[in-house]
Amino acid sequence: MMMPVIATSTTPLVIIAIYLGLLLALALFSTRLFRGTSTDYFVASRSIGPFMLLMSVFGTTMTAFALVGSTGKAFERGVGTYGLMASSSGLIHAACFFLIGIKLWSFGKKYGYVTQIQFFRDRFESRGFGYLLFPILVALVIPYLLIGILGAGKTIRGVTKGMFPETFTGDPAWIGSVPSWLTGLVICGVVLAYVFSGGSRAAAWANTFQTIVFMCMGLLAFYFISQKLGGLSEAIKNANPAHLVRDPSELELTGKNGPFTRHIGVPPLMFLTYMLIPLSVGMFPHLFQHWLTARSAKSFRLTVIAHPLCIMIVWVPCVLVGLWATAAFAGGIEGLGPKNKAFTGLPNQDTGAVLSLMVKFLIADPVIVGLVTAGILAAIMSSLDSQFLCLGTMFTNDIVLHGKPKGHYSDKQVIVIARGFVICIVLLTYVLSILNPQNIFDLAVWSFSGFASLTPLVFAALYWKGATKAGAFSSVIAAMGVWLYFFSLSGWGGEYTVLNGVMPVAFSFGAGALAMIAVSLASAKPSAETVNKFFPDL
């Protein structure tokens, strides 16, 4: 069904431009604190305090998923979305920060690591292991980056629909909207500007600002939408009843390509095995880098405790808005009126646009629309900057500098190399974002599943003296082999489960864990020197 063109004020774009300007100004201010050393560029001289660590870790973890994905998934699957993705993350993310983050920070502090691979190379006494892990981590981060850029494109497309009917005439369903390639270009340019100039310190400042912005704007959208729908109780009354329970059911709908079935609810096995996916934070290289920026281990305390709370503050309102949208998009909300018939035409695969369309059509105040959209972009960019930076850091330290004698490059040369890599990665990701049309949230789950499959590696490295080099190689190869197998079966990125709802991550995680245990038990133990280094007698 084609959506009609709606004349739109350009005020939201002005607000977004002001927001991006403020962000750049703040980030560039933070570069005045830049100490000019590579340590400052990569890990902010390990000087970040508790509040900034919480904000930067939370902002980095919550990408387009936080506002856009949560609303879209609740609209699609119903109330089970929160338990599926949010409450489990509150428990497991914090567990990873506590059990993995503090230990890795300690080793990073003690032995001067700035990347995960440096730690794994030493722990498993193998330079080659770094060359195995490096391309895998890069390959898993890039889809994660794409999620952000594509998510930004979809959001702006929804908000600007009908804004420039004579300039942007490409896609008839989104006529007059700013195309995704242009949004991606602007977003990449802004993030590149501050990551290039200030590195990790600028990213931490920018993330703190952006996390505050997206949390506040999410609540703002929630308040105004609920008011427009007649209050909280009225808003939920019209929601599709099937979305208020977790029992699986099906809804027959008609989209622009004909009839289709929407699967509502969450199958029990999916709900159970989905709990493995938040383990991914234990292996995110960009999160590892944030952990290393902490001034002291005490900085972690606030992050561990407040992370589940921050998730709740963001996700509960967004899930409710997604439930309310099941009424709005069915044309069931009284008072929407004929001019907002566009609501009924939401394409099936564009659930990521639910929040921005709800804000645009229900609140219909261009200033609020601009503010909320700025919040969505903040959530997206607060992940992008860390990911760009971490890939630049890994290329520099794990490939270029690895094996070179100390002093081979001057500190300034190291920063130049890192900045060069950051530019290359931004360009590569931008080009891929133009080429990749996949459903971004399914792609995200695959990226998270890949990282989660690698967590037996980091757990064993930190907690099992008997974990060996051969075990580490086997674990990574087995986990990635199984992950790749299911990824291909999914059609390279679609939603995919086996055995009535089991997430593929259950198999890839299990394969990685089994391989680590079996091969480590059967292979040569690590040297006493390595065991003493990573399991000090305390």
Partner 1 sequence: MSAKGIIVGLAILLGILHQDFWNWDDPSLVFGFMPIGLFYHACFSLAAVVLWLFAIKYAWPTKLVEWAEQDEDNERINGE
36 by DSSP, 3-state: which? coil
Which residue from 7, 32, 233, 338 is in contact with partner 1, where contact means CB under 8 A? Answer: 233
Q: Is 1 in the site for partner 1 (CB under 8 A)?
A: no
**Rule CB under 8 A: which of 320-339 touch partner 1?**
320, 323
Partners of residue 251 on adjacent β-strands: 262
**Rule CB under 8 A: which of 124-163 touch partner 1?**
none
Q: Output the CA angle 23-61-117, nearest 5 degrees.
A: 105
Q: Is 109 in the site for partner 1 (CB under 8 A)?
A: yes
322 vs 345: CA distance, rounded Å: 16
Question: Residue 410 has what DSSP assignment?
Answer: -
378 vs 220: CA distance, rounded Å: 14
CB under 8 Å to 398, separation ≥6 — which residues?
A: 115, 117, 118, 130, 134
Nearest-approach distance from CB 313 to partner 1, in angstroms: 9
Q: Counting beta carbons within 10 angstroms of the beta carbon of residue 233, is it exposed (0 to 12), middle (13 to 18) or buried (19 or more)?
A: exposed
**Rule CB under 8 A: which of 378-397 touch partner 1?**
397
75: phi > 0 → left, psi -120 to 50 → alpha, else beta; which? alpha
User: Cβ distance 306 to 474 under 8 Å?
Assistant: no
Which residue from 19, 113, 124, 288 is in contact with partner 1, where contact means CB under 8 A? Answer: 113
Q: Is 538 in the site for partner 1 (CB under 8 A)?
A: yes
Residue that the structure tokens 């310190």 belong to? 201
Complex with partner 1: residue 487 or 534, whichever CB lies closer? 534
Which residue from 23, 94, 202, 380 is in contact with partner 1, where contact means CB under 8 A? Answer: 94
284 vs 41: CA distance, rounded Å: 19
The site for partner 1, by CB under 8 A, has a size of 72
Fill in the per-residue mask, 270 to 309: x = in contact with partner 1 (CB under 8 A), - = not in contact.
-xx--x--------------------xxx--x--xxxxxx
Complex with partner 1: residue 219 or 236, whichever CB lies closer? 236
**Rule CB under 8 A: which of 243-262 touch partner 1?**
244-247
Nearest-approach distance from CB 202 to partner 1, in angstroms: 18
**Rule CB under 8 A: which of 51-90 touch partner 1?**
79-80, 82-83, 86-88, 90
Which residue from 125, 365, 411, 442 is in contact with partner 1, where contact means CB under 8 A? Answer: 411
Q: Is 421 in the site for partner 1 (CB under 8 A)?
A: no
Residues in the chain: 538
Q: Is 241 in the site for partner 1 (CB under 8 A)?
A: yes
- Report the number of secondary-structure helices (H) and strands (E) in the chain: 23, 2
Complex with partner 1: residue 152 or 321, whichever CB lies closer? 321
Token pair recorded at residue 279 = 């383990």
Nearest-approach distance from CB 62 to partner 1, in angstroms: 14
Helices (H), 397-468: 411-435, 440-453, 455-463
Fill in the per-residue mask, 427 to 466: x = in contact with partner 1 (CB under 8 A), - = not in contact.
----------------------------------------
